[in-house]
Amino acid sequence: MSFDRSKTPTWRTGYRFQYEPAQKGHVLLYPEGMIKLNESAALIGGLIDGERDVAAIIAELGAQFPGVPELGEDIEQFMEVARAQHWIELA
């Protein structure tokens, strides 16, 4: 089964993506706690705005980082993990 890049990710209700100076990085805040995101996840997370679909996120990061061969697959994998962890919803 292939990933549907036309889906638009949104953060789940109660989840907030933000830069946290104390953590020196981007985090995902939610009622039960906080997840510190690595640099790649933070770049993807910064583009989750409820308007861009996965294809647009891939295109935008592809323009910023040309020549990264597995960029699309890496972003799809992030979306799958984020959905499985209930951080995002894909509509």
Task: Dump pLDDT digits (tens) for 4-36.
Answer: 999 999 999 999 999 999 999 999 999 999 999
Task: Dump pLDDT digits (tens) for 49-71.
Answer: 999 999 999 999 999 999 999 99
CATH of domain 9-85: 1.10.10.1150
46 alpha carbon, distance to own chain's centre: 7
Tally Cβ neighbours within 10 Å of residue 23.
Answer: 12
pTM of structure: 0.93
Contact between residue 61 and residue 39 where contact means Cβ atoms under 8 Å apart: no
Residue among 82, 86, 80 nearest 13 (CA): 86
pLDDT at 46 over 70: yes
Contact between residue 34 and residue 28 where contact means Cβ atoms under 8 Å apart: yes
Which pair of tokens denotes residue 78?
Answer: 């992030």
